Structure 1
């Protein structure tokens, strides 16, 4: 089904590309984004863009803190970094648009309506997530199932939102479960169809049905009360945010495509495979540069380190260090774009891509002159690991483990 989805997307891209080519006027696809105002610039530049613009290639140029354009050609890598950075900011609970459940999944914050233009922001974030799935960009986020299922038009008749309360509001779930199995007279509990909530330090009462605070709950309708309360907590109070987010997502991802998948499968489309990394698959699809090759001693040490020394969690950290996501693409590393690349750290960042004979020769001469004090570094936008040519495997293990746990990242060496 993932391959079928990709086939649908490729056909859609071809159709959009042909329509753009037939237009007499130029459609803008190049945007300058300031690092210091990344989310704001992204929202201002793309929120009003047409669906055709979103579905076609979008070129990004980053402007640094000095106001200068950063060097680099956007061959998917820079755009991937842009999508991941915007997503990271948007879903950060400190941004006040999303909250975290007890099992660390994300859903729209009920108090996000305090944020200016919050509905437009949710629509924009939905488009960003849709674009990521459309372009097979893996994101390191996990959405709450009760929120994610609204992206799927096909309804599950066996689903009960009451079950989701266990992770969203454990106290409420426990109380409702008590009421469900209560043998006494429920009216003695003095419940009404309303709920009191602490909103920024102020106690607010909300009706879960019209005039609910004046309607008592009885033994005859306690199941209705439990259902209404569950729906309110998981949907009603954030339904506007959900609708705008879903509308944005469907700007790129057609409902009939998404309806092929279940909620857990849709989460995998967003964040990749949750199982341990398939190192054999990674080896098969890796690209070597700067003098490295699959039989080079340092490369052999690297694979031995990942297989024998690193735990599953450390392998996930390694993958996140290089690609910014701890999970592999659903169709394996052959689907990673740009491909997973390992380059000798001495290789110049300003040389042309690829491995000319001269470049390989220069790096083979200098490859043994690496200082063992240097740390590995990465360019996650290009899925690139820059690995020094260490003298021993022990040094490689220690340096790599330190780098992935310190999240050394770009150019820290």
Structure 2
């Protein structure tokens, strides 16, 4: 069996002077024999397995000359077994040892790291386990586990891909055979042997202690990825080991931490997703069991950030879904106001410690609803500040409006809205009130909703010329040939900012790249594919083409656009019309074309748009909370019309309750509405057909009894999301009255 040494210390940089030399099978055997970690009986069995593997499966060398390799001989399994036993015995001849192993690493034999720590491949562990299982004595297998899994050096050089093991030149950047690691853990846990499983758990804990104590000596971080694949870390009983591992990782130097992010970025997404689950479960268990935020939760949150950074380096189709980083426990039970306060204090306290830990600094863990509430809280604070300033100002100087009041003409909406906004630029962060000139009504929210609805409808009318509509993607894009002034594009930016600031959902349909640009992100080919699928597909075909690009595609670094029959040319680079696109420069061409289409061609329009937006949303720290997808949700609301959630959360007043037969009939009618009628119903009741960011369950919908007259139509207080519903005598009468109301809501019923 193995010697009593149960692991090695964290490797030190001075020990790496051996460099990453490659052992071959003969050297592996001699090293194992010299250090005496196996008895001869165990080592003989391993050599038999090693030769049998070589004779039946080969060694992996493409130009192997060894006559005793499958590449150069053909024997059946019976013959191979006899030869393997014979060859293995000859290795133990003290007077004249003979070897027939290929000149390459043999995966059946334990190998050695550059610091001569024992490391293994899956095949080695499998053979040892099979032999131990037959005898019922798992001591050798457990000693191997203790030795390998308690040493960072051993583990980092174990379970390598074949290319990494054989030191082959390859484009494959991931050197860990993650599927092999997964199978190894499955085999270990599959023994159902408590001693075996305990040996693994104990080894991981020991490694955590050494790692945490000697973190400055770490040179290779692959062991961290291999440890994170261990299913035991999902168990609360292993949280002590996980805590040690987290502490060690967070102590790594920036250089080594960068190396870890690189290794994680090469890790297949299904394993990266499982790593996310480990830390999510840790946070959830700690929050619910303790009821407060401790340093362990802070560690796990930061570790999720490291994985998130690695995930962002992956290509679009290989990424873990960003929503997997949301933590339900954090989003459901953390006090938003307290977290916001700690966040603001942390911003003014560089290099703060745990006392100011907050989740806003780690927005990947927060869902859009939490973030929207942070934004609303910040907006309320800003609005209250403006209100106080206006009140104080009115005491000593000319009275100042406590609100941002826009008086607009319904028949000249865009111009009067633009004039009012520009005249009140200093008031935009006050709470908004809207009044239509010549009309009665106090704006408690409903008038404001109608204002946004009407102005968006006019601005995005293709006949107005500011935006183009794509029938295939059903999205709007800036008209690069628009005759409209920059003020009009500034207006829509201001409108979107005001809507965010005043919690209004807008009926806007931009491709995702617009929201990315609003956050200051650079566009790429994937963005172009989403916004302009045909163009994006063509550019991808250009990149993937294996023939002569210049001869087949006949393109230059120049693009053409047509406007009212007039063709304009645009050079993507100086003298672009005379530079052909070739196999060598096609990546540059695609990059420049993406930049031109999504940035330069609409530079004037977007500059005005973003200038208007920042007149209201000027604090980048708030916007930095959001991803582009989340910003779209914030502005446009959820696309899901979940009327079941609306029914579950609806409240009733003045004689109605959820068990009333009329109410049951009401919901049966509404649930059978078409999607279009459901949107009309929302418009009628709330003044908007958009769904709040968290869904219809967050609407705060109330149904109020309003008399017993069959002839009376339903009405609504859109400011408060109240439906005033008469008690109709029949279900059919209610259906007819509801449909009449929602199809004519612009003419009556809105209050």
- Tell me, yes or no, if structure 1 residue 229 matches structure 2 residue 599: no
Aligned to 2:475: 105
CA contact (8 A) 1:187 1:217 kept: yes
Partner of 1:369, secondary structure, is: coil
Aligned to 2:683: 320
- Tell me, yes or no, if structure 1 residue 241 matches structure 2 residue 605: yes
- Tell me, yes or no, if structure 1 residue 267 matches structure 2 residue 632: yes
Aligned to 1:349: none
User: Residues 285 and 21 (structure 1 numbering): CA distance in 2 closer, same or farther, change over 3 Å?
Assistant: farther
Distance 2:453 2:651 in 1: 22
User: Residues 12 and 334 (structure 1 numbering): CA distance in 2 closer, same or farther, change over 3 Å?
Assistant: farther
Aligned to 2:733: 395
2:492 to 122, 125, 130: 125
1:91 to 449, 460, 475: 460
CA contact (8 A) 1:376 1:387 kept: yes
Aligned to 1:214: 578
CA contact (8 A) 2:709 2:728 kept: no
Count how many residue pairs are aligned between Structure 1 and Structure 2: 371
CA RMSD across the alignment:
2.9
Distance 2:500 2:655 in 1: 32
Shift of 1:383: 4.0
User: Residues 279 and 226 (structure 1 numbering): CA distance in 2 closer, same or farther, change over 3 Å?
Assistant: same
CA contact (8 A) 1:195 1:208 kept: yes
Distance 1:210 1:284 in 2: 61
Equivalent residues in 2 for 1:5-20, closer than 5 Å: 5-20=375-390
Aligned to 1:356: none
Shift of 1:89: 1.5
> Runs (4+) of structure 1 moved beyond 6 Å?
none
Aligned to 1:71: 440
2:398 to 7, 22, 25: 25
2:415 to 40, 57, 63: 40
User: Residues 211 and 382 (structure 1 numbering): CA distance in 2 closer, same or farther, change over 3 Å?
Assistant: farther
Partner of 1:223, secondary structure, is: helix
1:368 to 684, 697, 708: 708
Distance 2:378 2:574 in 1: 44
Q: Per residue, is there more helix in 1 or in 2?
A: 2
2:558 to 194, 197, 216: 194
Distance 1:175 1:326 in 2: 37
Shift of 1:129: 0.6
Distance 2:410 2:696 in 1: 29
Unaligned runs of 5+ in 2: 1-370
Aligned to 2:94: none
Partner of 2:585, secondary structure, is: helix
Unaligned runs of 5+ in 1: 64-68, 345-362
Distance 1:412 1:321 in 2: 8
User: Residues 385 and 201 (structure 1 numbering): CA distance in 2 closer, same or farther, change over 3 Å?
Assistant: farther
Partner of 1:251, secondary structure, is: helix
TM-superposition CA deviations, 1:344-394 (whole Å, max 9, x none): 6xxxxxxxxxxxxxxxxxx6xxx33332xx654556566454544432112
Distance 2:702 2:481 in 1: 43
Shift of 1:237: 0.5
Distance 2:467 2:744 in 1: 24
CA contact (8 A) 1:180 1:223 kept: yes
2:615 to 240, 251, 270: 251
CA contact (8 A) 1:120 1:244 kept: yes
User: Greater Rg, structure 1 or structure 2?
Assistant: 2
1:61 to 435, 441, 450: 435
TM-superposition CA deviations, 1:45-71 (whole Å, max 9, x none): 112422x411113332213xxxxx212
CA contact (8 A) 1:343 1:385 kept: yes
CA contact (8 A) 1:77 1:381 kept: yes
Shift of 1:170: 3.6
User: Residues 182 and 369 (structure 1 numbering): CA distance in 2 closer, same or farther, change over 3 Å?
Assistant: closer
Partner of 1:368, secondary structure, is: coil
Question: Greater CA deviation, 391-400 or 91-100?
Answer: 391-400
Distance 1:149 1:411 in 2: 39
